[in-house]
């Protein structure tokens, strides 16, 4: 009898995990993630332009929402792009590739898609089918916005609860896929980094189903009568708005999201305006018109201290900006110095890491290199 028991215990120790056992998510302790949004809507990707060794995650933007389903609107190029992205795992086997559903343009039908148990189930199943069919690593939801207006999207009060129920349904489908494959699949979301987003969601409940929450800590100024920093780390002085990355982090911590699930967003592009005067180098001053901002590679190579533009540094906001006193053009953006300070903030506040929108805006990888230099 004792021999039989010993033999049974030995078999338990050496037996491989069965497919029915839930695989564990196993991130390296203390390792910070770097999530890059890669734009599939531009067409077929250039594999050589993406350095997988500098990323932990790629979020493929975007998958549409149509008839309560996750929908590959650009299937011909999307399927090619999935194959290209999976080939990057030859360079970085630990790379995670997620589909990002929605975005500014394709969030119009989220509210309808998650309105009923039947529609939520349909949406979750079709989302995870894409993950399974193309051997991807999870789902990212970029709903802009639950319970409030975005780009002509449907929205309703019920979005607040249905937002949580959507993630519950997605997590259920991903876990069922895990049982079949023995792999863990991630579920993340990109969120508006302000109090209105929190008011229209149940972040303390939704976060139970999520691996990471990507804070879109940028676009603090896009339109309006005045202009200022669009991605500052801290609030500036004498500002008509107190938006900042720091404020966003505090808001989501207070809403119940653990720091270790929070990811700080960085724009790889600038926002620009023509100001009515040169007062205060344009910061928090009246706007005459909008102007082209451009991606960071263009900004650094062609604008910083060139063509009449002078770089300034806002010590209070911990943010750079350019101003051209001849044309009264203001440009706000992130550079290597501000990214380094944000990396320090992420580490000091025990956050999960950083994400950026989007890869094609900085093809020379100036800002991505700054992140890697600090995190590795």
β-partners of residue 285 are 227
Cα separation of 101 and 71, whole Å? 9
Helix (H) or strand (E) holding 13: helix 2-14
Q: How far is CA 265 from CA 22, 232, 262, 322, 343, in A?
A: 31, 11, 10, 21, 11
> What distance in Å separates the CA atoms of residue 71 and residue 73, rounded to the nearest whole number?
6
Contacts of 298 (CB under 8 A, 6+ apart): none
The angle formed by the CA atoms of residues 229, 235 and 236, to the nearest 5 degrees, is: 65
Please report the sign of the dihedral spanned by the C-alpha atoms of residue 246, residue 200, residue 262, residue 101.
negative
Give the helix ranges, DSSP H, for 15-156: 75-87, 110-113, 117-133
Residues near 64 by Cβ (< 8 Å), separated by ≥ 6? 70, 71, 72, 73, 101, 106
Burial 145-179 (b: 16+ CB within 10 A, else e): bbbeebeebebeeebbebbbbbbebbbbbbbebbe
Q: Which of 24, 144, 179, 186 is catalytic?
A: 144
What's the CA gap between 25 and 89, in Å, rounded? 18
Distance CA(340)–CA(338), nearest Å, equals 5
CB 123 within 8 A of CB 68: yes
Residue 202 annotated as catalytic: no
Q: How far apart are CA 216 and CA 295, in angstroms?
A: 17
Catalogue the active-site residues: 144
């Amino acid at each position: 009898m004792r021999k039989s028991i010993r033999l049974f215990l030995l078999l338990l120790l050496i037996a491989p995990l069965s497919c029915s056992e839930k695989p564990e998510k196993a991130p390296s302790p203390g390792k910070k993630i770097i999530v890059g949004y890669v734009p599939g809507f531009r067409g077929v990707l250039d594999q050589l332009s993406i350095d997988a060794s500098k990323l932990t995650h790629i979020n493929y933007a975007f998958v549409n929402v149509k008839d309560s389903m996750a929908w590959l609107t650009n299937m011909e190029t999307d399927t090619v792009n999935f194959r290209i992205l999976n080939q990057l795992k030859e360079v970085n086997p630990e790379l995670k590739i997620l589909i990002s559903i929605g975005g500014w343009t394709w969030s119009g039908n989220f509210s309808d898609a998650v309105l009923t148990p039947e529609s939520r189930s349909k949406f979750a199943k079709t989302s995870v089918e894409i993950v399974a069919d193309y051997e991807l690593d999870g789902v990212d939801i970029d709903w802009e916005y639950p319970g409030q207006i975005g780009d002509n999207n449907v929205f309703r009060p019920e979005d607040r609860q249905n937002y949580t129920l959507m993630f519950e349904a997605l997590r259920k489908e991903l876990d069922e896929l895990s049982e079949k494959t023995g792999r863990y699949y991630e579920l993340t979301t990109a969120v508006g980094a302000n109090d209105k987003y929190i008011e229209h969601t149940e972040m303390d409940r939704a976060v139970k189903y999520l691996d990471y929450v990507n804070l879109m800590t940028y676009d603090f100024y896009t339109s309006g009568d005045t202009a200022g920093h669009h991605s500052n780390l801290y609030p500036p002085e004498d500002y008509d708005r107190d938006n900042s990355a720091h404020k966003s982090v505090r808001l989501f911590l207070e809403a119940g999201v653990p720091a270790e699930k929070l990811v700080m967003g960085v724009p790889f592009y600038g926002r620009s305006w023509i100001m009515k005067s040169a007062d205060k180098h344009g910061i928090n001053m009246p706007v005459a018109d909008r102007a082209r901002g451009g991606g960071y590679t263009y900004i650094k190579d062609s604008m910083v201290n060139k063509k009449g533009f002078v770089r300034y540094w806002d010590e209070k906001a911990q943010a750079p900006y350019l101003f051209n006193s001849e044309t009264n053009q203001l440009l706000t953006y992130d550079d290597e110095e501000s990214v380094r300070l944000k990396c320090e903030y992420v580490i000091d506040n025990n956050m999960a890491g950083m994400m950026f929108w989007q890869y094609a805006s900085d093809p020379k990888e100036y800002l991505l290199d700054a992140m890697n230099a600090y995190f590795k």
